[in-house]
Structure formats: structure tokens, C-alpha cells
A = this chain, B = another copy of it.
Amino acid sequence: MPFKAKIHAVTLGVADLERSLSFYRDGLGLPTDGITGTQYAGDETTPAGAVAMFNLDDGLILSLYPRAELAKDAGLDPTGATRPTMSIGHFVDSRAEVDRLLDLAGDAGATIHGEAHERPWGIYSGYFSDPDGHLWEVLHFEGVPDPEPARS
């Protein structure tokens, strides 16, 4: 079984979360609950949880997330020019499926960034980069309802 033909989230790495929230919410008029996840403070190696999410049509989520935190979350260097600028989120319905798809991506030639692991905000995920360095996160929501039930 390959990847489902679906992208569930697009995360843009930003320098200033408030500035970018204002641009997308007040400037472009996209709907959002504002910045959430501020209870997860993070530190030099653990990513902070603060994020701004926009629920778009057809269930797609546009997220704004500080670029340094995105790098930490992906197990990449949070400083310097090699930090990722964005990631594509692909949601699956179990931890095993996260692990399986990361293996599949690796077999296809992707660069796998460390082991998949659990985040305090209820996500088990791992990242890979495509041949040009575009970052994908394969993730499973835990402790909150699955946003897309398994297909039979």
C-alpha cells in the first residue's frame, strides 16, 4: 500500500508568529482561532507548541509555525540557512502506519530525519525529505479524535 493521494496540512515556517498570523488572518482574511499550543514552552532542543492554524475548505489545514521550532520538531538544525521553510503533513490512522510510510519513503530514496516519536500535544510523527529537501511529516493524532477515520 503506497501513500494515500492526500495532503492534510501545509505548514509554513515563519520568523514571527504574530506578524504572520496578522498577515493571513487580518490581511488575507483566512479563518483561524489564532495562536494555540502556547502551553508547550519547549527549550533549546524540544520544539515549542505555539502554532496558528487555519482550517481551509476540504479539511486542509494551513499552519504557521516558527521556523526554528519546525526544524527542532523535524530533528534538524534550528539555526542557519538549512532550516526547513515548510512541511507537508500527511495524516494516518496508527503509529504503525507512520512507521510503515517512513520506511516506504526511505526505500524510495527519501532522507529520514530520525525516529518517529510522540509530541506532548498528542502527535506521533516522523519526518522525511524528498530528493530536493522538501519536508514531509507523517503523523498520527493520539488522545484526540482522529481527523480522518481509517478507510475500510
Contacts and interface: CB of A to CB of B under 8 A. Distances in A.
A14 B132 contact: yes
Contacts of A43: none
Contacts of A26: 108
Interface in A1-42: 1-7, 10, 12-16, 19-20, 23-24, 26-31
Given A2-B29, A27-B107, A86-B86, A56 B16 contact: no
Nearest to A86: B86
A25 B102 CA distance: 16
Interface in A101-131: 104-105, 107-110, 130-131
A67 interface: yes
Contacts of A134: 12, 85-86
A55 interface: yes
Q: Which range contains the number of A residues in contact with the other chain?
A: 35 or more
Interface in A124-144: 130-134
Copies assembled: 2
Contact of A5 (B1, B6, B56, B86): B56
A7 B131 contact: no
10 contacts: A2-B30, A5-B31, A6-B58, A10-B88, A12-B130, A13-B132, A23-B110, A27-B110, A28-B105, A60-B60
